Amino acid sequence: MDLDVFVTAHRTEWDRLEHLLRQGRRLTGAEADELVVLYQRTATHLSLIQSSSTDPLLTGRLTQLVARARSTVTGTRKASWRDAARFLTAGFPAAVYRSRHWWVPTAVLSIAVAALLGWWIGTHPEVQAAIAAPEDLRAMTRPGGEYETYYSSHPAASFAAQVWTNNAQAAALCLVLGAFLCLPVMWILFLNMLNLGVGIGLMSSAGRLDVFLGLVLPHGLLELTAVFVAAGTGLRLGWTVIDPGPLSRRTALAQQGRAALGMAIGLALVLFVSGLIEGFVTPSGLPTWARITIGITAELAFLAYVYILGGRAARAGDTGDLAAVERSAELPTAA
């Protein structure tokens, strides 16, 4: 494409668009229609120039024109409680539902790894000896030991806040680092499963696996599900870098990244609930069966939320991304 000829052919349209934008709200109906047409044409021109030219001044001018025109055409809106309600009842569960093909296999594989590590540690005394000295292991696994007192070692409110913060950070890292070709996410998952496997192995070798599970299951079901969802979403984001599908890599990453951002907010709320359970239910004096029942109920409620509300919203076309009017204008792809 001859850039000079192209600029000469279309400069009048760009100047006209800039003139209409300066008029603001004083546009007539015909001028408003003209502004929309010129906005669409200029967006196409910008796409063509970006694909065939490296002129930063021209690209900058047209980018600014397109952004101003879009703002004028679509207007601005403020977030409302209705947006928050739509996010909680449709956007977030739909995003989790649509990513189930990533986080469900992630959950199954991770739990299998934790169980395998637990079996290996529990049946190999030499591995246990490499973890800690025998007296330290006894201090951790005996009745009233560190594994049991961990959940009641701090006031419930502060412990719940600390747990929520730590888990939210882990989930956020999975979501953010997924773009780095999935590798950091798999490492974070492995560390989490290693910690779980060590607990399973040491407590089973001491004949107290039932006590350990009674302490972990009430909050762990929901907590680990949130971590698996975050990890699966991060892996999906990383795979988008490798294979963006029919979209351009930038567009595909933008879509997945916006959905991941919303997922981070939703998962923070889920982890807040699991933190409350860990802070107030796990160390409580309730019978083990009652504490586990609370954990199972919370887990089933979340899964129903995802598969019923999320499935319905996903089938209606909700992806967890921003509404079309709220997204940046996507430029046409030059042929």
Token pair of 220 as six digits: 């762990």
Under a CB-based contact definition with an 8 Å cutoff, are residues 240 and 144 in contact? no
List Cβ neighbours of 114 (8 Å cut-off, separation of 6 or more).
193, 194, 196, 197, 200
Tell me the pLDDT band of 80, cut-offs 50, 70 and 90.
low
The phi-psi region of residue 322 (left if phi > 0; otherwise alpha if psi is between -120 and 50; otherwise beta) is beta
* Percentage above 70 pLDDT, the chain: 88
- Sign, CA torsion 181/184/187/193: negative
Does the pTM of the predicted model rise above 0.85?
no
Of 228, 232, 237, whose CA–CA distance to 196 is shortest? Answer: 228
Of 128, 156, 127, 130, whose CA–CA distance to 141 is shortest? Answer: 128
Tell me the pLDDT band of 328, cut-offs 50, 70 and 90.
very low
Beta carbons within 10 angstroms of residue 83's beta carbon:
14
Q: Which of 42-46, 152-156, 288-292 has the lowest mean pLDDT?
A: 152-156
Tell me the pLDDT band of 130, cut-offs 50, 70 and 90.
very high
For the cut 70, the answer to whether the pLDDT of residue 143 exceeds it is yes
User: Which residue did the predictor score with more confidence, 161 or 232?
Assistant: 232
pLDDT in tens, 274-321: 989 988 998 888 999 999 999 999 999 999 999 999 999 999 988 776
- Output the CA–CA distances (angstroms, integers) from residue 277 to 86, 163, 225, 297, in the order listed: 26, 10, 14, 11
List Cβ neighbours of 145 (8 Å cut-off, separation of 6 or more).
138, 139
Please give the DSSP secondary-structure letter assigned to residue 324.
G
Phi and psi torsions of 49, nearest 5°: -65, -40
